[in-house]
C-alpha cells in the first residue's frame, strides 16, 4: 500500500522556458512543465501565491525546435514512467488481496480454508432446479441408457442410398413413438472439397485407364462414382451446390425394455426400407443420448458427406399430411411440430368453416389467415358483426364500411349483376335469379307469408322492375337503373290483396327502418380488403343486412374473376332464418366457380346444425377448423365431423388457438401461432388494445 504514495523518479529537469503565445506550447507555465517532468501534480494544482497563476502574462520569447522537442520528450518520459509505476502498484495490491496478505483481508490460511469449506457446505444444502428435474439414477449400459424408469436407445445413420426423395424422413417424424431426432450439419469450405474431389477424380480416371490397358471388363461402379464426382465438381464450381458433413441420430424411449426393442426394430426397418442404414450406438450409449438432447453436442460424431440437394430432403418440417409447397402457414402441427402450410384454393372448393366456443380464438385465426392470404394477392371481404376487424382493415389499407340506420352508406337490394363474360346467359336469367333472391330477403323482412302473398309479391317484384324498363327478355339488365324498395311499396299499395304486405313493408321505406335499404347503392367493391360492419344495426335487422350485403357482394364478385375470400363472422345469426341460411348455402355451393372462398365462423354449433342448411354448408367446405369446444357441443360436432375419441379429447382440452385442422380428408391437431407484429394487429384482448391505445 505504501508504494502507491511513492514519488516517481523524476527525469533530468528541463529548463522551464516560457513560450510565445501563437505557438502550440503557448502559455506553458512552470508548474505544467514540472508536472510533465513527473513532479506530483497535487502540489502544482494548489495555486499558492508563489506559483504563477495560469493567466499570468508571460514574456514573449522565441523557442527553437530543438527546445520544443526536448520539452516534449521529457513530458513523454515522465508520463510513461508514472504509468509503469501505477501498473506495478496495482499488480502488487491485487496479489496481496489474492494471497490474503492485504490489510483489508487479513486472514490466516486456515481461516480462509474454513470459510471456503463452509460456503461449499451451504451451497450443497440448497435445492436447485437440477435437483428437481434430475432422475434418481442413471444406468449406462452396453447399448442403452436407463434414466429413471425410462430406457433410451440411440441410432446413428451410417449409410445413405444414392438417391433420396423429398420427404423421406416424414414417416420417421410421424412415427407414433417418443423419439428425439437430431441433425448436425457442418458446412465444408468449397475450395477444400474441390481439391479433394480433384484428387479423387484423377485416381478414378487412372484406375479406369489402367483397367482398359489391361484389357479388363469395365467397372460400372467406378464409372458411376466418377460421373457423380465430376457432376458434383461442376455444380460446386458454379455455386449451385455447397458441401456439408451431416450427422443424423435418433433416440427412442420406452418405459419397458421389451417395448424398446420392438420400437427399435420398427425404426430400423422403417429406415432400412428407404436404404438409409442405421446402427445402434453400442458402447456409446451415453454419448448417443447426449447427442440427441437439445444441447448441440455431437458426441457420436458419425458424419457423412452430403451436398445441398440431398441434404435439403432431410428438412424435418415436412409432415406428409399437411405441408404443401405453396399457400400460407395456418399453424404448427401439434402431433409432430411440423408446419401446416396449405393453399385452400388447391382443394375442391376454397370454402372453410370455423367452429369454437366464444373466446377460443376463431376471429384471431381467421384474421391471421386474412393477413397472410392478402400477402399472396387475395382480396378479402368481411362481414363483421362485432367491430373486430377495424384495426386489421386499417393496417391492410382496407375500406371499412359501417352500416347503420344513421349512416349514409347504402346498398340497394334491387341491383342487378352484369352477366359473366364467359357464361352463356339466357334472356331473363339474371332478373329471375334476382327476383328469387329478393323473395327470400322479403320473407326475412316481412315475416311468414301465405302462398297467395308469395304469389302477389312475386308479381309485384316483376312489375317493379318493369316500371324501370327491366323485363324478362333482356340478357343484360344491369345497364338500366334499378328500382328501389320505395318502388316496390308503391306497386304493392296499388295491388289488390297486398294490403298486409305493403303495411309490413312500410317499416323499411318510411318507417323506423327506412333509409337503409331503399336508396340506390352508393358504395363500390374496392380491391384489397373490405369490411362491412353491422354492429350498430338492430338485432332484427342484422340477418337482413347480412343477406343484402351478401347479395351485393355476390353480384359484384361475379363481375371480375379474382382470387377472393369472403369472411362471415358470427354466421349463426344468418342460420337462424331458413331463407337466409338457404341463400348462404347457395353462395357456398357456387363460390368455387368464381374463385371465391367463403369462411363461415360460428360459435353456436347447435344453432348452426339445427338449420337444414348447416350440414350441407359444412360438407361444401373443404377446409374446417375446430378450436376449443364446450362439452355440450362436442357430441353434435363429433357426429358431424366423424371425430374419434382422441379428437374429441383434443377439442375439449385445447387451449386458446388450439384445435383440429381438416383439409379434405386430412386431419391434424393445430396450434395457431402469430408473430409479434401480427398479434399486435389482430388481437381482441381488451387489455392489449387498451395498452396499444395508450402507447399511440
Alpha-carbon dihedral of residues 522, 527, 528, 534, nearest 10 degrees?
20
Which residue stretch of 229-237, 296-304, 355-363, 629-637 sits at the interface with ligand ATP (rule: CB under 6 A)?
355-363
Which residue stretch of 108-116, 300-308, 359-367, 604-612 sits at the interface with Mg ion (rule: CB under 5 A)?
359-367
- Inter-axis angle of helices 190-213 and 220-238, to 10 degrees? 150
Q: If DSSP codes are grouped into helix, strand and coil, which group holds residue 188?
A: strand
Q: Is 362 in the site for ligand ATP (CB under 6 A)?
A: yes
Which residue stretch of 111-119, 138-146, 308-316, 357-365 sits at the interface with ligand ATP (rule: CB under 6 A)?
357-365
* Alpha carbons 288 and 216: distance in angstroms, whole number: 45
Grid cell, residue 231, equals: 457432376
Q: Is 344 in the site for ligand ATP (CB under 6 A)?
A: no
Site track for Mg ion across 242-261, x = CB under 5 A: --------------------
To ligand ATP, the closest distance from the beta carbon of 364 in angstroms equals 3
- Which among 92, 86, 94 is positioned nearest to 7, based on CA atoms? 86
Evaluated on CA atoms 303, 309, 311, 313, the torsion sign reads negative
Q: Which of 160, 364, 400, 414 binds ligand ATP (CB under 6 A)?
A: 364
Cell 441434404 locates to 311
- Which among 317, 276, 272, 292 is positioned nearest to 173, based on CA atoms? 317
Q: Is 684 in the site for ligand ATP (CB under 6 A)?
A: yes
* Alpha carbons 688 and 524: distance in angstroms, whole number: 33
To Mg ion, the closest distance from the beta carbon of 425 in angstroms equals 38
Grid cell, residue 583, equals: 341463400
Grid cell, residue 457, equals: 309479391
* Alpha carbons 333 and 325: distance in angstroms, whole number: 16
Total residues binding ligand ATP (CB under 6 A):
16
Cell 353480384 locates to 555
Which residue stretch of 35-43, 71-79, 227-235, 355-363 sits at the interface with Mg ion (rule: CB under 5 A)?
355-363
DSSP string of 245-268, one letter each residue:
EEEEEEEEEESSHHHHHHHHHHHH
DSSP state of 13: P
To ligand ATP, the closest distance from the beta carbon of 388 in angstroms equals 7
Binding site partner of 71, from Mg ion, ligand ATP, none, Cβ cut-off 5-8 A by kind = none
67 vs 679 by CB, closer to ligand ATP: 679
Binding site partner of 306, from ligand ATP, Mg ion, none, Cβ cut-off 5-8 A by kind = none
Q: Is 602 in the site for Mg ion (CB under 5 A)?
A: no
- Which among 273, 309, 315 is positioned nearest to 167, based on CA atoms? 315
**Contact by Cβ (8 Å): 638, 648:** yes
Which residue stretch of 239-247, 301-309, 362-370, 443-451 sits at the interface with Mg ion (rule: CB under 5 A)?
362-370
**Stretch (H or E) spanning 625:** strand 623-627
Q: Is 310 in the site for ligand ATP (CB under 6 A)?
A: no
Taken as a whole, the chain contains a residue count of: 696
Q: Which of 18, 38, 657, 659 binds ligand ATP (CB under 6 A)?
A: 657
Q: Is 356 in the site for ligand ATP (CB under 6 A)?
A: yes
Binding site partner of 364, from Mg ion, ligand ATP, none, Cβ cut-off 5-8 A by kind = ligand ATP
Q: Which of 172, 229, 328, 360 binds ligand ATP (CB under 6 A)?
A: 360
> Residue 422, Cα to own-chain centre: how many angstroms?
39
Q: Is 656 in the site for ligand ATP (CB under 6 A)?
A: yes
28 vs 629 by CB, closer to ligand ATP: 629
To ligand ATP, the closest distance from the beta carbon of 150 in angstroms equals 32
* Beta-strand relationship, 529-533 and 399-402: parallel
271 vs 340 by CB, closer to ligand ATP: 340
> Residue 82, Cα to own-chain centre: how many angstroms?
60
- Which among 374, 473, 386 is positioned nearest to 432, based on CA atoms? 473
* Alpha carbons 113 and 107: distance in angstroms, whole number: 10
314 vs 363 by CB, closer to Mg ion: 363
Total residues binding Mg ion (CB under 5 A):
1
Q: Is 363 in the site for Mg ion (CB under 5 A)?
A: yes
Q: Which of 263, 287, 374, 672 binds ligand ATP (CB under 6 A)?
A: 672
241 vs 384 by CB, closer to ligand ATP: 384
238 vs 693 by CB, closer to ligand ATP: 693
Q: Which of 5, 66, 110, 358 binds ligand ATP (CB under 6 A)?
A: 358
Footprint on residues 592-611 left by ligand ATP (CB under 6 A): 603
> Residue 122, Cα to own-chain centre: how many angstroms?
46
Instruction: Write the secondary structure of 322-338 as one string of H (helix), E (strand) and C (coil).
Output: CECCCCEEEEEECCCCC
Q: Is 363 in the site for ligand ATP (CB under 6 A)?
A: yes
> Residues interacting with Mg ion, by CB under 5 A?
363
Residues binding ligand ATP (CB under 6 A): 356, 358-364, 603, 656-657, 672, 674, 683-685
Amino acid at each position: 500500500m505504501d508504494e502507491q504514495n511513492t514519488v516517481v523518479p523524476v527525469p533530468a529537469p528541463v529548463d522551464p522556458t516560457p513560450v510565445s503565445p501563437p505557438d502550440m506550447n503557448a502559455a506553458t507555465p512552470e508548474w505544467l512543465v514540472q508536472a510533465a517532468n513527473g513532479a506530483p501534480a497535487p502540489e502544482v494544482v494548489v495555486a499558492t501565491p508563489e506559483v504563477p497563476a495560469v493567466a499570468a502574462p508571460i514574456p514573449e520569447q522565441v523557442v527553437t525546435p530543438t527546445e520544443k522537442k526536448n520539452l516534449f520528450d521529457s513530458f513523454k518520459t515522465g508520463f510513461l514512467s508514472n504509468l509503469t509505476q501505477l501498473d506495478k502498484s496495482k499488480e502488487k495490491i491485487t496479489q496481496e488481496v489474492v494471497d490474503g496478505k492485504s490489510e483489508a483481508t487479513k486472514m490466516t490460511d486456515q481461516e480462509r480454508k474454513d470459510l471456503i469449506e463452509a460456503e461449499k457446505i451451504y451451497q450443497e444444502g440448497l435445492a436447485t432446479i437440477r435437483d428437481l428435474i434430475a432422475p434418481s439414477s442413471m444406468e449406462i449400459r452396453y447399448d442403452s441408457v436407463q434414466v429413471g424408469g425410462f430406457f433410451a436407445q440411440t441410432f446413428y445413420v451410417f449409410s445413405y442410398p444414392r438417391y433420396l426423395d423429398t420427404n423421406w424422413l416424414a414417416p420417421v417424424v410421424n412415427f407414433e413413438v417418443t423419439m428425439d431426432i437430431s441433425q448436425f450439419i457442418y458446412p465444408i469450405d468449397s475450395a477444400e472439397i474441390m481439391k479433394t474431389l480433384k484428387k479423387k477424380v484423377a485416381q478414378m480416371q487412372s484406375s479406369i485407364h489402367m483397367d482398359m490397358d489391361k484389357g479388363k471388363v469395365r467397372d460400372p461402379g467406378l464409372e458411376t462414382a466418377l460421373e457423380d464426382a465430376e457432376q458434383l465438381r461442376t455444380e460446386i464450381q458454379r455455386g449451385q451446390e455447397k458441401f456439408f458433413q451431416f450427422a443424423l441420430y435418433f433416440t427412442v424411449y420406452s418405459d419397458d425394455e421389451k417395448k424398446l426393442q420392438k420400437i427399435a426394430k420398427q425404426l430400423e426397418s422403417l429406415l432400412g426400407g428407404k436404404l438409409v442404414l442405421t446402427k445402434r450406438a453400442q458402447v456409446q450409449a451415453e454419448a448417443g443420448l447426449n447427442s440427441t438432447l437439445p444441447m448441440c453436442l455431437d458426441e457420436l460424431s458419425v458424419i457423412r458427406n452430403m451436398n445441398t440437394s440431398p441434404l435439403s430432403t432431410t428438412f424435418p418440417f415436412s409432415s406428409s399430411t399437411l405441408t404443401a409447397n405453396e399457400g400460407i402457414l395456418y399453424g404448427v402441427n401439434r402431433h409432430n411440430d411440423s408446419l401446416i402450410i396449405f393453399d385452400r384454393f388447391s382443394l375442391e372448393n376454397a370454402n372453410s368453416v370455423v367452429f369454437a366456443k366464444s373466446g377460443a380464438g376463431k376471429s384471431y385465426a381467421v384474421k391471421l389467415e386474412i393477413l397472410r392470404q392478402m400477402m399472396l394477392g387475395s382480396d378479402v371481404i368481411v362481414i363483421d358483426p362485432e367491430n373486430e376487424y377495424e384495426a386489421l382493415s386499417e393496417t391492410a389499407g382496407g375500406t371499412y364500411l359501417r352500416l347503420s340506420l344513421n349512416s349514409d352508406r347504402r346498398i340497394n337490394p334491387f341491383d342487378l349483376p352484369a352477366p359473366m363474360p364467359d357464361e352463356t346467359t339466357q334472356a331473363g336469367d339474371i332478373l329471375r335469379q334476382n327476383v328469387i333472391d329478393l323473395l327470400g330477403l322479403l320473407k326475412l323482412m316481412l315475416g311468414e307469408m301465405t302462398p297467395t302473398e308469395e304469389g302477389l309479391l312475386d308479381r309485384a317484384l316483376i312489375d317493379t322492375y318493369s316500371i324501370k324498363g327491366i323485363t324478362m327478355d333482356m340478357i343484360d339488365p344491369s345497364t338500366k337503373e334499378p328500382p328501389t324498395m320505395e318502388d316496390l311499396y308503391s306497386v304493392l299499395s296499388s295491388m289488390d290483396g297486398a294490403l298486409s304486405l305493403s303495411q309490413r313493408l312500410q317499416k323499411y321505406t318510411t318507417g323506423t327502418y327506412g333509409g337503409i335499404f331503399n336508396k340506390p347503392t352508393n358504395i363500390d367493391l374496392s380491391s384489397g380488403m373490405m369490411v362491412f360492419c353491422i354492429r350498430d344495426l338492430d338485432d332484427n335487422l342484422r340477418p337482413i343486412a347480412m343477406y343484402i350485403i351478401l347479395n351485393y357482394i355476390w353480384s359484384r364478385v361475379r363481375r371480375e374473376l379474382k382470387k377472393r375470400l369472403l369472411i362471415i363472422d358470427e354466421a349463426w345469426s344468418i342460420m337462424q332464418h331458413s331463407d337466409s341460411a338457404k341463400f348462404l348455402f347457395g353462395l357456398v355451393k357456387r363460390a368455387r366457380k368464381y374463385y371465391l372462398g367463403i369462411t363461415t365462423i360460428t360459435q353456436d354449433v347447435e344453432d348452426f346444425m339445427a338449420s337444414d342448411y348447416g350440414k350441407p354448408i359444412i360438407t361444401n367446405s373443404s377446409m374446417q377448423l375446430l378450436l376449443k369446444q364446450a362439452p355440450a357441443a362436442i357430441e353434435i360436432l363429433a357426429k358431424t365431423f366423424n371425430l374419434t375419441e382422441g379428437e374429441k379429447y383434443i377439442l375439449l382440452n385445447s387451449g386458446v388457438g388450439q384445435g383440429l385442422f381438416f383439409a379434405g380428408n386430412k386431419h391434424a391437431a393445430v396450434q395457431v401461432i402469430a408473430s409479434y407484429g401480427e398479434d399486435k394487429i389482430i388481437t381482441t384482448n381488451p387489455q392489449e388494445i387498451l395498452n396499444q391505445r395508450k402507447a399511440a
